[in-house]
Structure 1
Amino acid sequence: MMEAMQTEADAAAAYGLRALATVVFDIDAGQKLDALHPPSCLSEAAKTSLAHLSLPHCTNQDEGDTQFIVRFRDNADDRELLFGFVLFRQQKDESRTRGYFQKALVLVSTKPFVDLYDRVLRVVGPLFFKVGPQVLAAVYNNIQSWPDLVYDAPVVLPLAGTYISCIIPKLLDYEHLDSTYESDGDSPLHSHFIVEGEDDATDFPDFNDIDDDDDDEEEDTEETVLVKGGNFVVSRRQHPPSPSFGDLLLSKQTHQSTPFENIGLYSSFVSLEESLWLLWQLAITGESVLILSPHARTCSQASLAFTSLIAPLQFQGDCRPYFTVYEADFDTLASRQTHGVSSPKDVTVIGTTNPFFMKSLSHWPNALIFPFLEPPSVKPQQRKGASGAEAAGEADETGTICLRIQKNVELDDFENSHRPMILRRCPRYMVPDSTVLRQLVSPPEIHITQTTSHEEEPYVTINNAILRKHFRKLTKDFLHPFEQYFGIWKPGGRRSNLYMSAEDYMKPFTLPGLLSSIKPRQLPPQIKQGKWKALYTAFVKSPHFEPWFNFRRQRCIREFANTLRTLRDSVDANLLLSSPFGDNLSQEQYVKLKKEMEVALALEKAQGEVDKQQIQTIKKHLKAVKEKLRSFKQTQ
């Protein structure tokens, strides 16, 4: 019994599941947690955060369901943040004081499995609003019964009497040197949703229509109960679907992903296509950005997509895809960027629907503002603080307003517009790629709404794939000049051997050395046509550089060390006592070799799993060197 419970808990942990919750608006208490399962799995601070974040501040009156993502801490001193996958429903209801029914279902996870939990919510959300809070325990128990987690392959998971099909990506982790950083044959991710079976996944029976007459064989009486004893019970078990074509395509990728690569770039930045290269620059150079939209889903998706623009680099910063002024650490985040200049130690991306942030974060370094207004009859006037030449010249063909503003100018000096607006305080180092822009499929007329269809238009899927592939390649090409620092070289005057330290033979990094080694003609056109030296300098100073550089460096060192370990087992000790040309080594060289062997032996003994054969080999080699040193002493 205990083993079964432990197995279920392990399954929930593997998929990152922490809790399910519901949030409502109480006319007296405001936003509050209505139900939580398991009941004691979150701190009081986390419950408060969840309540504040799950019912978005909206000036519009869109009705229906919308999904977005939030991030919050369980405890104030926690380094890692939890993910909240929110399904928010708003419906007009004159019987309520506010005139609307507002309620949210939230799935709390420790892992950013966006595709998976988006699909889970789309299945269980309609059931929750029909059946009630007993669905929380049933979903939790259902996920606990899922099979062992499988990465980067199509998986079909049972859920509430139906099945969901998805790909769960293996995420790149700088803490583990066996992570696969890059490989050939990129297969860009895109967001899609498949629920297959005999019936529509959201077509649940109306409990009010269930007849208790056991003699009526035409109805599924007792067997129709969907939630019973904390579990789903269905009258007809559906057959698992075959993996979709889209999932089979995604399974072909051979690289590990960074979080949020499955969020579409085109769908997240509608009408901002020409500005994506500027956003890539802001992301890779570690600029803090405020993303404002009238819709919670829009700012949430755009914030996460922004951090994924620099894949395969991991974004090293604090990203809050939807944030409110009521969060406990609002003042902390607001104080990070007060002088109009991004601090590398405090890079922060904030998404919000509240225009008050333009005033409270008035000196934030950069802002992306989605349209809050319908197209006006007259053009909005330019406000103070923008360079006249740039204000006149940077409104691109898609209608995006892109202004460079002075450091002392406040963000709330600018009025709302019917066009997207990018306000930045840093220079532009990049130019757009006109070839990629021409490849994008032209859309029909687009209207951004809070409630979006689950089905993705074909042109959106195609454009998402084009942009994801382009920016992943752009980042890899940008990083290519650093490859010279991830190889083993042989500096003059040093003798190589099977016990040498890899660090001694790797090229030391300096920014001037990097810049002098770069040949501009080998850079991507979007980079070499701009201020590429300033771009590389800003990247090296950003928080993204050092973790990535150390990861690549350490992985190279480990791979080289493993190669040496393999070679040692096949080399006779006597071969180590002479040069490749058969000459005897000097006494100083033997002393150095002895020290290198002793270091290697100590490192080998410190391994978690000791390789007895390797230790035996090193001791044999070390014995031969010591004997040679003794012979030197005897002849002196």
Structure 2
Amino acid sequence: MSNGAPLKLCLGPRLKRAGCPLEAAGRADNRGPWPRFSSWLECACVVTFDLELGQALEVRRWRSEVMWALCVFPGCLGDTQFSFRFRQSVGRRASRHRDDLYNRDAPVTLQRETAHFFGYVYFRQVKDVSVKRGYFQKSLVLVSRLPYTHLFHSLLQLIAPEFFEKHEPCLEAVCNEIDQWPLPVPGQTLNLPVMGIILQVRIPSKSDKPGGSPIRQTAKENLLPAPTLLPTIHELDLFKCFQSILIHLQMLWELTLLGEPLVIMAPSPTVSSETVLALISSISPLKFCCDFRPYFTIHDSEFREYTTRTQAPPNVMLGVTNPFFIKTFQSWPHIVRLGEVKMAGDLPKQVKVKKLSKLKTLDTKPGKLATTAYPHQEAALCSQGIQRKRPSEVQSAILRRHLLELTQSFIIPLERYMASLMPLQRSVTPWKTPPQIRPFSQDEFLSTLDHTGPQLTSLLRGDWIGLYRKFFRSPNFDGWYRQRHREMMQKLESLHLEVICDADLLGWTKDKSEVEVVDLILKLREKLVTRRQQLQVRDGVLDKLDSFITSIISSLPNDLQSVLGTGTSA
């Protein structure tokens, strides 16, 4: 690992090498001139190894924290791609309006991060006698808040080889092209031109059916050259990621579901980051709400926080490659050591999991959900597919469908119970505040499992109640519950607005005092202005309420009209 890495950041079209690029980029996020670039990427970074300068930033101001404590030199010969994730600095604020618009319609697993960045790296190391150290070492890094792993790594495969030959002009041209891309709108299929190629992608929407078919190429436009279809922007090759740990996949799914502290020790940053990201996706459509680091090094700012022995390990999944961590994490309860995959006939040899027979996974007895019974079924299922020599994409589809069915069997009873906590629609009236959602009762939920439990949709038998109890104590349950509760509150607000819109508001105001009428106007304005972007209501509802507010203000005395104004919504 190198400690010295002079850094160049390319943040948008027509950027200079020193001084002002960060200042211009700071303006781009808020007022232009590159809003489309910043809707996809925070920055594009070039990191080179310099024996004399050490770690140095050639640009300054508020984006400089993007590259602190990064180590993007894995020391692998040839070309290497991997991902990492890191916290944004304290005090840094994202563009909330843009994030809210996107996150409102995106699946929870693909929403824009608000407190972390993703880094997508293309590293090249080759022998070069003209360099003092004897090797050419350089990384091209794309930093984004979007978890579009497949898209950005595909983009790097196009950009990086050309960049290493033509250097900065190439990167500047690419940034100009990205600034012409349409915004990433959930549910839309987009054509993204870059370096003479058009990438066609579809941005998933929360209304998509989980496990739906990949997109097909659209033929609406006569584009030259013909678009190159990317069937996914985020999914990984699960079979490639899991082929050495298939026999332990059920146990790892449970550890991920519960947000247990987990260390993945891998032979390379590629294997490390892909395995961590694949495990995170294994509980989809549930969002993994704990911290995770696909590639974690001793240079990360959280190194001391995550390696202290004075407290219990945090709820975090770490992917590491440095042998130093073998000793550092020896007290952690769950460690998976991955080796290079070697084939034994038609099947890959399985890797070792730390103290498998004594692994403190869920502290359950033999025969329960987390132990020996189900992994044999898992291995049989996956081994059957491998022996038939199916293509990797087919194997991945089998694994993804299996994990989706497993997660849905677990989450559907929770969803049904949560829906039962919603007030009846007939209880929503225009003259009262919306009724409250009933509180979540763990005991009441567990009492429903006999009639709605996972055993109705899953062949798996085990201690489901024990698993739910552990899930209730995990950050993943807290994140799921907060998200669902927020969506239900927004639904209630939307229903309330629609009921108000259908009511005879003008008739209601006839026998009311001016104070009551003004109070109604102010409350309606709050709903329209502060919640307009979050609420989804019938077409015409918001416009109708706008018209009502304008009409009722015009009927008030002139002094009140001047105070209230005539504008209603922003």
Normalised by the size of structure 2, how large is the TM-score? 0.69
2:226 to 241, 244, 265: 241
Give the aligned partner of residue 8 of structure 2.
none
Mapped to 1, the partners of 2:75 and 2:64 lie a distance apart of 22
Give the aligned partner of residue 412 of structure 1.
none
1:287 offset after TM fit, Å? 0.7
1:55 offset after TM fit, Å? 0.5
Note if 1:113 corresponds to 2:148.
yes
1:282 offset after TM fit, Å? 0.8
1:324 offset after TM fit, Å? 1.1
Mapped to 2, the partners of 1:116 and 1:521 lie a distance apart of 39
Note if 1:426 corresponds to 2:394.
no
Residue identity in the other structure for 1:75: S
Contact conserved, 1:20 with 1:108, CA < 8 A, in 2?
Answer: yes
CA RMSD of aligned residues (A): 4.4
1:9 to 6, 15, 34: 34
Give the aligned partner of residue 349 of structure 1.
317
Mapped to 1, the partners of 2:451 and 2:148 lie a distance apart of 39
Residue identity in the other structure for 1:9: W
Q: What do residues 149-201 of structure 1 show as CA deviations (whole Å, max 9, x unaligned)?
A: 3444442222123333333335xxxxxxxxx3x664632669x9x9xxxxxxx
1:361 offset after TM fit, Å? 2.4
1:517 to 445, 448, 466: 448
What SS class does the counterpart of residue 147 from structure 1 fall into?
coil
Q: What do residues 307-336 of structure 1 show as CA deviations (whole Å, max 9, x unaligned)?
A: 22211122112211112112233112223x
1:123 offset after TM fit, Å? 1.0
1:569 offset after TM fit, Å? 4.5
Contact conserved, 1:499 with 1:597, CA < 8 A, in 2?
Answer: no
What SS class does the counterpart of residue 315 from structure 1 fall into?
coil
Q: What do residues 311-364 of structure 1 show as CA deviations (whole Å, max 9, x unaligned)?
A: 1122112211112112233112223x755x55xxx4211111101112122222
Contact conserved, 1:8 with 1:144, CA < 8 A, in 2?
Answer: no
Give the aligned partner of residue 55 of structure 1.
73
Note if 1:480 corresponds to 2:480.
no
Mapped to 2, the partners of 1:183 and 1:427 lie a distance apart of 37
Q: Which of 1 and 2 has greater Rg?
A: 1
Mapped to 2, the partners of 1:496 and 1:85 lie a distance apart of 48
Mapped to 2, the partners of 1:43 and 1:183 lie a distance apart of 35
Contact conserved, 2:83 with 2:294, CA < 8 A, in 1?
Answer: yes
What SS class does the counterpart of residue 607 from structure 1 fall into?
helix
Residue identity in the other structure for 2:306: L
Identify if the C-alpha distance between structure 1 residues 262 and 541 changes in structure 2 by more than 3 Å, giving closer, same or farther. Answer: same
Residue identity in the other structure for 1:370: L
Q: What do residues 545-590 of structure 1 show as CA deviations (whole Å, max 9, x unaligned)?
A: 12321322232233244334434544569x99xxxxxxxxxxxxxx
Identify if the C-alpha distance between structure 1 residues 167 and 501 changes in structure 2 by more than 3 Å, giving closer, same or farther. Answer: same
Once the two structures are aligned, what percentage of the paired residues are identical?
26
What SS class does the counterpart of residue 527 from structure 2 fall into?
coil
Contact conserved, 1:442 with 1:459, CA < 8 A, in 2?
Answer: no
Residue identity in the other structure for 1:401: K
Mapped to 1, the partners of 2:195 and 2:427 lie a distance apart of 66
Note if 1:302 corresponds to 2:275.
yes
Mapped to 2, the partners of 1:496 and 1:82 lie a distance apart of 41
Mapped to 2, the partners of 1:95 and 1:561 lie a distance apart of 67
Give the aligned partner of residue 174 of structure 1.
none
Q: Which runs of 5+ in 2 are unaligned?
A: 1-13, 15-23, 93-113, 218-222, 509-515, 530-541, 554-570
Residue identity in the other structure for 1:513: E
What SS class does the counterpart of residue 152 from structure 2 fall into?
helix
Mapped to 2, the partners of 1:84 and 1:42 lie a distance apart of 17
Residue identity in the other structure for 1:324: T
What SS class does the counterpart of residue 85 from structure 1 fall into?
strand
Mapped to 2, the partners of 1:485 and 1:315 lie a distance apart of 19
Q: What do residues 395-439 of structure 1 show as CA deviations (whole Å, max 9, x unaligned)?
A: x996343455799xxxxxxxxxxxxxxx65533634348389536
Contact conserved, 1:404 with 1:427, CA < 8 A, in 2?
Answer: no
Q: Report which stretch shifted further, 466-475 or 433-442.
A: 433-442
What SS class does the counterpart of residue 55 from structure 1 fall into?
coil
Note if 1:316 corresponds to 2:334.
no
Residue identity in the other structure for 2:291: D
Mapped to 2, the partners of 1:18 and 1:334 lie a distance apart of 29
Contact conserved, 1:488 with 1:502, CA < 8 A, in 2?
Answer: no
Identify if the C-alpha distance between structure 1 residues 551 and 527 changes in structure 2 by more than 3 Å, giving closer, same or farther. Answer: farther
Q: What do residues 46-91 of structure 1 show as CA deviations (whole Å, max 9, x unaligned)?
A: 43423x2x10155xxxx42121112234535657222221101122
What SS class does the counterpart of residue 264 from structure 2 fall into?
strand
Give the aligned partner of residue 182 of structure 2.
147
Contact conserved, 1:119 with 1:164, CA < 8 A, in 2?
Answer: no
2:115 to 77, 80, 92: 80
Contact conserved, 2:341 with 2:348, CA < 8 A, in 1?
Answer: no
Identify if the C-alpha distance between structure 1 residues 41 and 424 changes in structure 2 by more than 3 Å, giving closer, same or farther. Answer: farther
Q: What do residues 256-293 of structure 1 show as CA deviations (whole Å, max 9, x unaligned)?
A: xxxx8512322212221232221111111111211111
Give the aligned partner of residue 24 of structure 1.
48
Normalised by the size of structure 1, how large is the TM-score? 0.63
Matches within 5 A, 1:248-259: none
Mapped to 1, the partners of 2:461 and 2:81 lie a distance apart of 40
Contact conserved, 1:18 with 1:41, CA < 8 A, in 2?
Answer: no
Q: Which runs of 5+ in 1 are unaligned?
A: 171-179, 195-237, 251-259, 377-395, 408-422, 446-456, 577-595, 620-636
Matches within 5 A, 1:57-456: 57=75, 63-75=77-89, 80-93=115-128, 99-170=134-205, 180=206, 184=209, 186-187=211-212, 239-242=224-227, 244=229, 247=231, 261-335=234-308, 346-371=314-339, 399-403=350-354, 424-427=360-363, 429-430=369-370, 431-432=374-375, 434=377, 438=381, 442-443=385-386
Q: What do residues 507-563 of structure 1 show as CA deviations (whole Å, max 9, x unaligned)?
A: 431211111111278415768512211210111111111232132223223324433
Residue identity in the other structure for 1:471: L
Across the two proteins, how many residue pairs are aligned to each other?
468
Residue identity in the other structure for 1:264: D
Higher percent of residues as helix? 2
Matches within 5 A, 1:574-585: none
Mapped to 2, the partners of 1:424 and 1:132 lie a distance apart of 50
Contact conserved, 1:88 with 1:103, CA < 8 A, in 2?
Answer: yes
What SS class does the counterpart of residue 326 from structure 1 fall into?
coil
Matches within 5 A, 1:464-479: 464-479=396-411
Mapped to 1, the partners of 2:127 and 2:333 lie a distance apart of 39
